[in-house]
Amino acid sequence: MKHRVLLTGPGGRIGPHILPTFHAQFDLKILDRRPIEGEPETIVADLSSIETLTAAMAGCDTVVHLAATSDEAPFVEELVPNNVVGLYNVFEAARAAGVKRVVFASTVQAVSYYPHGHTVQNTDLPRSVSLYGVTKAMGETMGRYYHDKHGLEFIAVRIGWFLDYEHEWLKEGRANAIWLSPRDAASFLARCVTAENIGYAIVHATSKTDFELLSLAPAREHLGWEPEDVVPAAP
Amino acid sequence: MKHRVLLTGPGGRIGPHILPTFHAQFDLKILDRRPIEGEPETIVADLSSIETLTAAMAGCDTVVHLAATSDEAPFVEELVPNNVVGLYNVFEAARAAGVKRVVFASTVQAVSYYPHGHTVQNTDLPRSVSLYGVTKAMGETMGRYYHDKHGLEFIAVRIGWFLDYEHEWLKEGRANAIWLSPRDAASFLARCVTAENIGYAIVHATSKTDFELLSLAPAREHLGWEPEDVVPAAP
């Protein structure tokens, strides 16, 4: 039987690249704050209402939660409502709707203040490079709480530097250690839905690289996942 | 020369027990959301205004930030405004006022979902027992960011179970592994002001106990601190 999945925020940067995989593999509902072209059944809502989120999750076993404010948005006006309160609302709705697993889009920015020679392990304390990263690290801790306290399965995916194949930064070698390709993003997030025997996990998602700035060991261990794409050699 | 210190939230549970020590050792300003008896110069303000906080910090080298919402207060209505936004405001004010060090009252609740036989190290990922604990763990990460990014000195003090000497729970042996006595709280927090050569530290604060549920090693290493009071034997 197909997993019944609610995907939040597929109108963002990553979403369009994973929607075909998710439609193919799962019985999919999607929620975004704006209508999405070609997705007439999108539930249009933000993250401000537990009731709306609970209704959207009805019948779902898994929530893949991409919706968030990214990068250097204002802390009080945007990061807190969406990444702190909005995430809390997602967890409370998941409890109310009987969802079994939440897959949470965290970020490399939660840990990218470690010096470049250090391969980050999923047991290292966060060292965030931005307030956005701070809110995502908090999401990992909140997920731990909802797992420990309420038995929710939780996977925090520290997403690498998502760039399309033709992006010039990739050709310039600026994303070597943390690039996540569209194809690898889709297979990774789908695996987070289907992987079994996970209670709580923090996993790093990047494509193949000569030097893992973020260790891929947790993804191998918890998800049995390997990247397919290889970071292009710098010129 | 005396350290010039702003102490926030001394009207709470712990504050009254540390005020005599802080008055004796430091050139002290205090800020609380309510007037405090016997402290006519209290700056009465909450944590909602960066400008007010910046003015209160003028001339201070250190902020000891106790003001917060504790325990199971409503997340959106109280924990977020005070412990998330309020803390951000404190950091931004500290930057604006040229404060050198922020001492932050974190809590044992940030890590107390570890099983009881495990001595928590300050390198362990948070496992919070409450949403209050989640906000405090986030504060530790936010402090790391302000240290890494802006050079602020930061000490997160995971305060144990603060009970007065005569509390019945103490006599019943219910606080054995995490009790922090009033005298030890005062000496610990004062040491956080005076200790030198600290960039970023997470330290645990408890009185002497047969079993350290929270390791005192970081307090010894960073602060050269030892507790004076011993947890009474259970009957």
The tens digit of pLDDT for each residue in A16-26 reads: 999 999 999 99
Nearest by CB to B128, from A135, A137, A145: name it: A145
Q: Which residues of B belong to the active site?
A: 132
Choose the weakest-confidence range: B38-52, B126-140, B172-186: B172-186
CB pairs under 8 A between A and B: 78
| B98 vs B209 pLDDT, higher one | B98
Q: Which tens digit of pLDDT belongs to each residue from B179-206? A: 999 999 999 999 999 999 999 999 999 9
Closest chain B residue by Cα to residue A121: B125
Give me B89's structure tokens.
């405001």
Helices A182-194 & A15-25, crossing angle to 10 degrees? 40
Q: What is the pLDDT of residue B111?
A: 95
Nearest CA-CA distance, residue B24 and chain A, Å: 36
Nearest CA-CA distance, residue B140 and chain A, Å: 9
Using the predicted structure, report yes or no on whether residue B235 has a pLDDT greater than 70: no
Q: Residue A104 forms beta bridges with which residues?
A: A65, A156
Q: Which tens digit of pLDDT belongs to each residue from B57-106? A: 999 999 999 999 987 799 999 999 999 999 999 999 999 999 999 999 99
Question: Which residue is listed with tokens 């999923």?
Answer: A122
Closest CA to A87 of A56, A51, A58, A50: A50
Using the predicted structure, report yes or no on whether residue A214 has a pLDDT greater than 70: yes
B4-223 carries CATH number 3.90.950.10 = no
Rounded Cα distance between B10 and B30, Å, is: 7
N- to C-terminal Cα separation, chain B: 47
Nearest CA-CA distance, residue B110 and chain A, Å: 9
What are A146-149's contacts with CB under 8 Å, separation 24+?
A: A146/A91, A146/A94, A146/A95, A146/A102, A147/A199, A147/A200, A148/A200, A148/B113, A148/B127, A148/B129, A149/B113, A149/B129
DSSP letter at A157 equals: E
Nearest by CB to B134, from A125, A133, A142: name it: A142
Q: What average pLDDT does this structure show over B103-122?
A: 94
Q: What is the pLDDT of residue B215?
A: 96
- What is the three-class DSSP state of A168? helix
ipTM metric? 0.95
Rounded Cα distance between A15 and A39, Å, is: 12
Q: What is the pLDDT of residue A227?
A: 97
Amino acid at A137: A
> pLDDT grade, residue B219 (50/70/90)?
very high
Rounded Cα distance between B133 and B106, Å, is: 8
Using the predicted structure, report yes or no on whether residue A169 has a pLDDT greater than 90: no
> Is residue A114 among the annotated active site residues?
no
Q: What is the pLDDT of residue B224?
A: 98
Q: Average model confidence (pLDDT) for chain B?
A: 95
DSSP letter at A83 equals: I
Domains in chain B: boundaries = 4-223
Q: Look at A144 and B128 and tell me if their CB atoms are within 8 Å.
A: yes
Q: What is the pLDDT of residue A39?
A: 95
Burial degree of A151 (CB within 10 A; 0-12, 13-18, 19+): exposed
